[in-house]
A and B are shown apart, each in its own frame.
Chain A
Amino acid sequence: MVRTAVLPLDRGRKDEEGAMKGKDVAEKLARLVADTASALPEDVVAALRRAKRREKKGSSAEAILGTILDNCALAAKNGTPLCQDTGALAFFVSSSLRGIVTRSAVEEAVRLATERGALRKNCIDSLTGASVDTNCAGGFPIMHYVDDGFTRRGTGKVTLVLKGGGSENMSRQYSLPDASLGAGRDMEGVRKCVLDAAHKAQGYGCAPGILGVAIGGDRALGYETAKEQFLRPVGTAEGRSENPVLARFEKKLLSEINSLGIGPMGLGGETTVLDVKVASLSRLPASFFVTVAYMCWALRRKTVFFGGKEGAR
């Protein structure tokens, strides 16, 4: 791993106006990138541990989940990327941080993290096939400003999600009605789409995965919303949809997909997905999209706060 200049540690230093300097922001975000790439969030680790306990003793599924957990512990200890595909980076930034967490600060952070070996050179110019060694060009990294309840300028949070290419290749979008599935324009039809996506993915997206589902929307909003579901905690009651209809639907899909027996890495077992998250959007009368985003077991997600925690809203 190439480690170049090490910048001074960031301690959340602020200037007199209370806003962090651009360089400090970039440094804080570069550390966020490195931490996100090397350690899974606690909810995902806990879900993987529960999955391992559910598998039959001595089974290949149990062995694979053990390997995954050992890998994660080692990467977290050493601070090295837990998967070599360090993924597409999606930053979700509080709107209240506009002008502070800027596009240029985020790109500087990604450049720094790449130089330090926290990210693989993982960005290809689609026209020329050449590697973009900074990981910054043509829409990468992905960045969204979100209205998340923070109102005071300079306070807010940044959440980073990393998603690998193998899992992205297993994502699908359906348009109802779908004759090949016998899926109509109702929740039964939506259910068939999600089951089909999980079945077609087999273990190829690095199962056990997490499914983010969006019902409705236009095509672009469908994928965006499906992926936003990965911000919700995995495998816990608080991570369930607030809508009771969707919460029941999520639980039903989770149990039905796990009954397929695809298992970790597709070699059979009790756990094919760790969780299913569903959101509902409006749609045009003429369209009914169902979007299923597949996330590998390595759901890398981490949040940092600016200007104090929740209390500062």
Chain B
Amino acid sequence: MKKLVYPFREKDVRSLKAGDAVSISGIVFTGRDKFHKAFADGDAVEGDFRDAALYHCGPVVVKRGGEWKVVAAGPTTSVRENPYEPKFIAESGVRVIIGKGGMDKATLDAMKKHGAVYIQAVGGAAALYAAAVKRVAGVKRLEDFGAAEACWEFEVEDFRGVVAMDAHGNSLFSDVAVRSSKTVKALFGKK
């Protein structure tokens, strides 16, 4: 298990390879559909995303005793942000994208060019990821985006995932798709 600690520096991120299991500690911002749409519309969420992580996640967060408490924080499907992510990576300096299901070739190319990685979080592991959030450091655009779409700033400890797309142009998703297509074709050929 490789450890990634905020601030995530370019050289550390570039040292990761597709397939590496990682444990992340530090600042993770959440951002999903409305976050990306606002960025594309010139109404970007203000914040310093340089060397931080962006998590495709719509968490369940409740206020308890005046403090925000994260109840569930599993990943959401990342493909919907494909049209926006390359530009966001280029302009924000974000180093780590966390999500589910992977992203397209344009995003992979942007990650290679600017030094970023895509980390697959485990779908469904909402309880464990909620427990990895040690503190909610802040929230942006809660009023207009709503709680599930707002940009939450989480301080996480030992948030686990797997590098699925690295900064060298490798994607486990496309490797697996190519390999499994060959195998299924071979199986179709025999009884």
Q: Which residue numbers of A lie inside 8 Å of B, CB to CB? A: 1-2, 58-60, 63-64, 67-68, 70-71, 74-75, 78, 80-85, 117, 120, 164, 166, 181-182, 188, 192, 195-196, 199, 202-204, 206, 256, 259-268, 296-298
Contacts and interface: CB of A to CB of B under 8 A. Distances in A.
A261 B179 contact: yes
A282 to B, nearest CB: 25
B122 A265 contact: yes
9 contacts: A67-B122, A83-B125, A84-B73, A85-B74, A120-B72, A181-B188, A204-B77, A206-B123, A297-B124
A265 B120 contact: yes
Contact of A1 (B71, B73, B177): B71
B173 interface: yes
B122 A196 contact: no
Contacts of B188: 181-182, 192, 195
Contacts of A256: 187
Interface in B107-143: 120, 122-131
A179 to B, nearest CB: 13
A63 B128 contact: no
Nearest to A76: B127
B128 A74 contact: yes
B19 A60 contact: yes
Interface-central residue, B73, B77, B125, B179, by most chain A CB under 10 Å: B125
Contacts of B120: 265, 267
Contact of B101 (A81, A181, A199, A203): A203
Contacts of B162: 60, 63-64, 265, 267
A265 B125 CA distance: 12
Given A192-B188, A266-B172, A296-B123, 8 more contacts: A64-B122, A68-B125, A80-B127, A81-B72, A202-B180, A260-B180, A265-B120, A266-B173
Interface-central residue, B100, B128, B130, B179, by most chain A CB under 10 Å: B128
A163 to B, nearest CB: 12
Contacts of A297: 124
Interface residues of B, number: 41
A260 B122 contact: no
A7 to B, nearest CB: 21
Nearest to A263: B176
Contact of B127 (A59, A60, A78, A262): A78
B67 interface: no
B54 interface: no
Interface-central residue, B77, B130, B181, B191, by most chain A CB under 10 Å: B130
B164 interface: yes
Contact of B21 (A60, A71, A80, A296): A60
A260 B188 CA distance: 12
A268 B172 CA distance: 7
Interface-central residue, B180, B183, B187, by most chain A CB under 10 Å: B180
B160 interface: yes
A260 B127 contact: no
B122 A75 contact: no
B126 A81 contact: yes
A75 B100 CA distance: 21
A82 B176 contact: no
Contacts of A202: 173, 176-177, 180
A234 B155 CA distance: 38
